[in-house]
A and B are shown apart, each in its own frame.
Chain A
Amino acid sequence: MYIASARAGARTRLGAVPRTVVALGVVSLLTDVSAEMITAFLPVYLLFSLNIGYVQFGLLDGLYTGATAVLRLVGGHVADRLRRPKLVAGIGYGLSAATKLVFPAVGASAFGIGGVIAADRAGKGLRTAPRDALISLSVPPERLGTAFGVHRSMDTVGAMIGPIVTFLILTNLGSAPTPFFVVSFGFAVLGLIVLGFFVPERAQAAASVGPRPSIKAGLALLKDVPFRRAGMIAALLGLATVSDAFVFVLVQRTTEIPLGWLPLLPLGTALTFLLFAAPLGRLSDRIGRWPVFFGGHVLLLGVYLLLLAPAGGVPLAVAALLMHGLFYAATDGVLSAWTGAMIPESLRGSGLAVVQTGQALARLVSSIAFGFLLQYATLSTAVLTAVGLLGVALLVVLVVTRKEESAS
């Protein structure tokens, strides 16, 4: 039914994305409100409500990020194997929702809080690949870019609402922790309800095209040249991507805007991302996903170059955040659209998980390396290194793709 309605309009319009994608967008929006509420509240909770330090959490953070990257592979594979991506995604969403109620129970135990955060991350790791598989299976390949764009845009709306909810509770109810966790749990449950009642399980599950899902079949995907190349490109560019936290700190320091504006900088990137994710996704459907994905990373190089300009003030900061948001809009959903179209339907979850895991691990390595670099180098040296790495990575990618094109 929804596939028929999606195919009714011959031209890709933003309003023509299928119900499943919109419903999954609503699920992600609600879940992100729930998650980002807690992200915004957690520092206040740890430092003020519990009066415990931050040191241990920084150490554990990298570990969790690595572990959840691997869990993505599990989520993708199990979803393919059972042919039930919605069920596996639901377990991931459910796990994250449950952690919101466990927070108050573990109290001030750093070990306990670390465990709850890890469980929350595990839920995110489990659900991501099956959810993207659901999106990619509900639209024809020529519309994947638009569909992922609309989804990422709705997701980001949730990420912006979350901190606002936290602020409203802080000012109206004070910093007693329970209301934050209850409201966050409420949003997460709403997301689960929308997933359960408004997102159909893969309609064509029985008839999905491609090899029988198995670990061997998943690994065999890597023998497919375009897919392997795409995965390696995503990972290589991921290695040269500086984490958001560093970008915002660098933007503040190099443009010399007031330090008090630092908490607002992520909003600039997020706002640009949510406004442009759908239009750039649609553009990728028209002119091809690869040029948009590549172009996005050129914009990122532009951000780094802007950071080399001395004391640019507000205009430079605005330009940098705009380009940073456009980088996300041109690469985040577009990567799933680009690689999703190369993967047989029966292996969609595993395949998307492989690409996303490669990119996530590469970014983790880059962020650790960059942190290490800052222990010894000045800021401008660090930025120059980032510019050099990304520039070389882009050149390598360009040469490789040209060669492959002329060879085929």
Chain B
Amino acid sequence: MTRNRTALGVVLIVVVVLATGIYLWRVGGPSGATAATAPADGAAITLVDQRDGGDTVASVDPSATDGTRTPTGLRCQRIYTAGGTTVCLRVAGIGPSFEAAVFVGGAVVKSIPLPGVPSRARVSASGKIVSWTVFVTGDSYASAGGFSTRTGYFDLRSGEVVESLETYALTVDRTAHTASDVNYWGMTFEADDTAFYATVGTGGRRWLIKGSTATRTAATVRQGPECPSLSPDGKRLAYKKATKWVGRWELAVSDLATGVETVIPGTAGIDDQAAWLDDSTLAYGVPSQQTGVPGVYRVAADGKSEPVLVATAASSPVPAR
């Protein structure tokens, strides 16, 4: 009886192991996309193709819907390119742990270990400053006391890496802020490669901040806007803005000179740092309302038209310039 029971147990174990093994063998890996080359320049945009889970960076024509995707050979969770510099946030080791790989002219010039899961990536227009935001999750499903983020940057001119903005002197509403629960996310740089916008969260509130890498200071601008993205001409700021639903945002664009804010219709559900394709067009990733599969959309920044689907099962759009 006991012997039969043991034998049956062993048989079942073998069956489960074999079934899982056969499943994995049939799934196979993503099709040959391991060569480490940066995406080629062109009139296209690059994005992360999530169709077969390969995280393959591909270039597509943004004017078509679901046009041909040409793999670049990179695999990243998040990518951004500007001024000849590409940053690729990708898996680096067990944990799993991640790294920010910085490419110039197709070669990796720097790898920076990241303290969490990739969320945002940005390169200044000149290609001289690279920044990233990661989620730090602790050892449980979600870290106790809510979520936390780390935002850092790498200055290609000096070679300096600032691992986290939390060392910056922060001013909230003109008062020096000393609380320890400060989280930064979503940097975007001005043309001088020194001044930047970003988001800070503390005490359950979020603020748009403006800071300087020269003085290592940051001050709140106003409450609400998150994941800012400065237009190429530096005149407008795109960001996500909370709706009346908790954890739900929509895309908005603010004119920095006049302060006039335009909410872009049809963008509810966005949780991304939008990318400017040119001075009048934005691109971003958002999960489909129907299927939940993330897709990349483009939309006019004047808020006068609805978003247009560029690619299904894709994220992290950036103009290949």
Q: Mark A146-184, 1 if CB is under 8 A from B, else 0.
A: 000000000000000001101100111111111100110
Most chain B beta carbons < 10 A, residue from A175, A183, A198, A367:
A175
Contacts of A378 in B (CB 8 A): 178-180
| Neighbouring A residues of B50 by C-beta, 8 Å | 48-49, 175-176
B119-163, CB < 8 A from A:
119, 135-148, 150, 152, 163
User: Given A107-B291, A107-B292, A183-B20, is A61 in contact with B141 using a C-beta cutoff of 8 Å?
Assistant: yes
The residue in chain B whose Cβ has the minimal distance to the Cβ of A370 is B145
Q: Are B139 and A368 neighbours in the complex by a CB distance under 8 Å? A: no
Q: Please measure, in the bound complex, the distance between the C-alpha atom of A135 and the C-alpha atom of B215, giving whole angstroms.
A: 60
Number of A interface residues, CB 8 Å? 78
CB pair B294–A193 under 8 Å, yes or no, is no
What separation, in Å, do the CA atoms of A96 and B95 have in the docked complex?
22
Instruction: Report the separation of the CA atoms of residues A377 and B8 in the bound assembly, to the nearest whole angstrom.
Output: 59
Q: Are the CB atoms of B13 and A193 closer together than 8 Å?
A: yes
- The stretch of B21-29, B80-88, B188-196, B275-283 that contacts the partner chain: B21-29
**Residue pair A43, B180 in contact (C-beta under 8 Å):** no
Q: Which residue of B24, B28, B286 has the most chain A CB atoms within 10 A of its CB atom?
A: B24
Q: Is the CB of B16 within 8 A of A260?
A: no
A175-B55 contact given A260-B115, A262-B115, CB 8 Å threshold: yes
Is B202 located at the chain interface by the 8 A CB criterion?
yes
Query: With A48-B118, A174-B29 in contact, do A39 and B140 touch (Cβ < 8 Å)?
Result: yes
Contact B24 A173 (CB under 8 A): yes
Nearest chain-B residue to A106 (Cβ)?
Answer: B292
- The size class of the interface chain B forms with chain A is 35 or more
Contacts of B16 in A (CB 8 A): 186, 189-190, 193
A53 to B117, CA, bound (A): 12
Identify which of residues 367-393 in chain A touch chain B, using a CB-to-CB cut-off of 8 Å: 367-368, 370-372, 374-379, 382
By a CB distance below 8 angstroms, the chain A residues around B138 are 243-246, 248-249
B312 at the interface (CB under 8 A from A): no
B265 on interface, CB distance cutoff 8 Å: no
Asked if B300 is an interface residue, CB under 8 A from chain A, the answer is: no
Chain A residues within an 8 Å CB radius of B28: 173
| Nearest-neighbor residue (CB-CB) of A59 within chain B | B146
Give the residues in chain A near B286, CB-CB below 8 Å: 51
B12 on the interface (CB 8 Å rule)?
A: yes
B94–A176 CB distance below 8 A = no
Inter-subunit contact A55/B13 (CB<8 Å): no
Mark A122-151 against chain B: 1 for CB-CB distance below 8 A, else 0. 000000000000000000000000000000
Q: Taking A175-B77, A243-B138, A259-B150 as given, write out 14 further A-B residue pairs in contact, using a Cβ cutoff of 8 Å, ordered by the A residue number.
A: A43-B137, A62-B144, A107-B291, A174-B53, A190-B13, A193-B13, A197-B8, A244-B138, A245-B139, A246-B138, A374-B179, A375-B179, A378-B178, A379-B180
